[in-house]
Amino acid sequence: MEQSSHFVYILKCKDDTLYTGYTTDVSRRIRAHEEGKGAKYTRGRSPFELVYQASCPSKSEAMQLEARIKKLSRKRKMQLIYEYAGGDT
């Protein structure tokens, strides 16, 4: 049975790059990244800061959102993060 919560998240890496991913458990996934068991991209780039998180009702919707975010420019991703943090545009 599939879990009801699906998340898209953005991590800010120690080298100031951004990593976007999908998971059903954000805390577990960040731990995996920190232990070097996450995506190859994040290995050696810890520590991480969770700068964006969105909940989606289905895996399909979460993966579509992840794909859309990954296609954004860095400038647009930073704007998304700023808005998520409660900033004004």
Instruction: Determine, yes or no, domain membership for 49.
Output: yes
Domain total in the chain: 1
Q: What count of other Cβ atoms lies within 10 Å of the Cβ of residue 69?
A: 20
pLDDT at residue 1 in the model: 39
Reference 56, options 11, 10, 7; nearest CA is 7
User: Which tops the pLDDT comparison, 38 or 8?
Assistant: 8
pLDDT tens for 54-89 read: 999 999 999 999 999 999 999 999 999 999 998 764
**H or E element: which one contains 19?**
strand 18-23
Q: Which domain holds residue 70?
A: 6-84
> pLDDT value at position 2?
46
Domain for residue 18, yes or no?
Answer: yes
Maximal C-alpha separation, the chain: 40
Beta strand extents in 24-88 (DSSP E only): 49-56
Say if 89 falls within a structural domain: no
Q: Is 33 among the domain residues?
A: yes
Could you tell me if residue 1 is inside a domain? no
pTM for the predicted model, two decimal places = 0.90
CATH number, domain with residue 62: 3.40.1440.10
What is the model's pLDDT at position 87?
Answer: 74
Angle at 86 between CA 81 and CA 89, to 5 degrees: 75
User: For 2-6, 23-27, 50-54, 80-84, which range has the lowest pLDDT when averaged over its residues?
Assistant: 2-6
